[in-house]
Amino acid sequence: MIKHKTTIELEPAAFKIQYQDYLLSIGSCFAQNIAQKLQNIFYNVSINPFGTLYNPISIRNSLGLLLNKYEFQEEDLFFHNGLWNSFQHHSSFSSTTIEETLERINIELIKARTRLKRSNTLLITLGTAWVYELRKTQKVVSNCHKFPANRFKRRRLTVDEIVSSLGPLLEYLKENTPDLNIILTVSPIRHLKDGFTENQISKSTLLLAVQEMVQKARFIHYFPAYEIMMDDLRDYRYYTDDLIHPSSLAIEYIWEAFAQSYLAPEEASLRKNIYKLHKAIQHKSFNPSSSSHQKFVQQQLKNIQKIKTKVPSLDLKQAESHFLNQLIQT
Q: How many Cβ atoms from other residues are within 10 Å of residue 88's Cβ?
A: 23
| Side chain identity at residue 124, one-letter code | I
Give the per-residue pLDDT at 143.
95
| Contact predicate 5/101, CB 8 Å | no
pLDDT category of residue 29 using cuts at 50, 70 and 90: confident
| Contact predicate 24/122, CB 8 Å | yes
Residue 27 sits in the same domain as residue 58 = yes
Interval 73-114: pLDDT, tens: 999 999 999 999 999 999 999 999 999 999 999 999 999 999
Residue 125 sits in the same domain as residue 236 = yes
Residues sharing a CB contact under 8 Å with residue 196, sequence separation 6 or more, in sequence order: none
The answer to whether residue 2 sits within a structural domain is no
**Which has the closest alpha carbon to 288: 279, 280, 297?**
297
Residue 213 sits in the same domain as residue 121 = yes
Q: How many Cβ atoms from other residues are within 10 Å of residue 190's Cβ?
A: 21
pLDDT category of residue 315 using cuts at 50, 70 and 90: confident
Interval 53-63: pLDDT, tens: 999 999 999 99
The answer to whether residue 16 sits within a structural domain is no
Residue 108 sits in the same domain as residue 131 = yes
Q: Which DSSP state fits 42?
A: T
Give the per-residue pLDDT at 30.
83
Residue 40 sits in the same domain as residue 84 = yes
CA distance 57 to 162: 7
Decide if pLDDT at 201 tops 80.
Answer: yes
Structural domain boundaries, residue 317:
266-330
pLDDT category of residue 193 using cuts at 50, 70 and 90: confident
pLDDT winner (highest mean) among 145-149, 203-207, 277-281:
203-207
Residue 77 sits in the same domain as residue 98 = yes
Residue 193 sits in the same domain as residue 293 = no
Number of domains in the chain: 2
Give the per-residue pLDDT at 127.
96
Give the per-residue pLDDT at 314.
86
Residues sharing a CB contact under 8 Å with residue 7, sequence separation 6 or more, in sequence order: 232
The answer to whether residue 14 sits within a structural domain is no
Interval 162-179: pLDDT, tens: 999 999 999 999 998 999
Average pLDDT of span 202-207: 98
**Which has the closest alpha carbon to 131: 200, 59, 26?**
59
219, 239, 263 — which closes off a domain? 263
CA distance 62 to 88: 7
Give the per-residue pLDDT at 11.
84
Residue 161 sits in the same domain as residue 220 = yes
Residue 229 sits in the same domain as residue 247 = yes
Query: Half-sphere exposure of 134 toward its Cβ, with a 13 Å CA cutoff?
Result: 16
The residues that bridge with 21 in the sheet, in sequence order, are: none
* Mean pLDDT, all residues of the chain: 93
CA distance 237 to 247: 8
The answer to whether residue 231 sits within a structural domain is yes
pLDDT category of residue 261 using cuts at 50, 70 and 90: very high
Decide if pLDDT at 253 tops 70.
Answer: yes
CA distance 258 to 251: 10
* Coil vs helix vs strand at 80: strand
The answer to whether residue 317 sits within a structural domain is yes
242, 263, 284 — which closes off a domain? 263
CA distance 101 to 51: 13
Decide if pLDDT at 31 tops 90.
Answer: no
Give the per-residue pLDDT at 69.
84
pLDDT category of residue 330 using cuts at 50, 70 and 90: low
CA distance 264 to 219: 17
Give the per-residue pLDDT at 288.
87
Give the per-residue pLDDT at 328.
85
Residue 182 sits in the same domain as residue 297 = no
Residue 157 sits in the same domain as residue 177 = yes
Residue 150 sits in the same domain as residue 193 = yes
The answer to whether residue 3 sits within a structural domain is no
CA distance 62 to 165: 12
pLDDT category of residue 1 using cuts at 50, 70 and 90: low
247, 263, 279 — which closes off a domain? 263
Average pLDDT of span 126-133: 97
Distance of CA 101 to the CA centre of its chain: 22
Q: How many Cβ atoms from other residues are within 10 Å of residue 64's Cβ?
A: 13
CA distance 26 to 108: 13
pTM summary value = 0.92
Give the per-residue pLDDT at 86.
97
pLDDT category of residue 216 using cuts at 50, 70 and 90: very high
| Contact predicate 124/26, CB 8 Å | yes
CA distance 28 to 185: 10
Decide if pLDDT at 277 tops 80.
Answer: yes
Average pLDDT of span 177-200: 93
- For 18, list phi and psi in degrees, rounded to 5: -120, 170
Q: Which CATH number fits the domain that encloses residue 53?
A: 3.40.50.1110
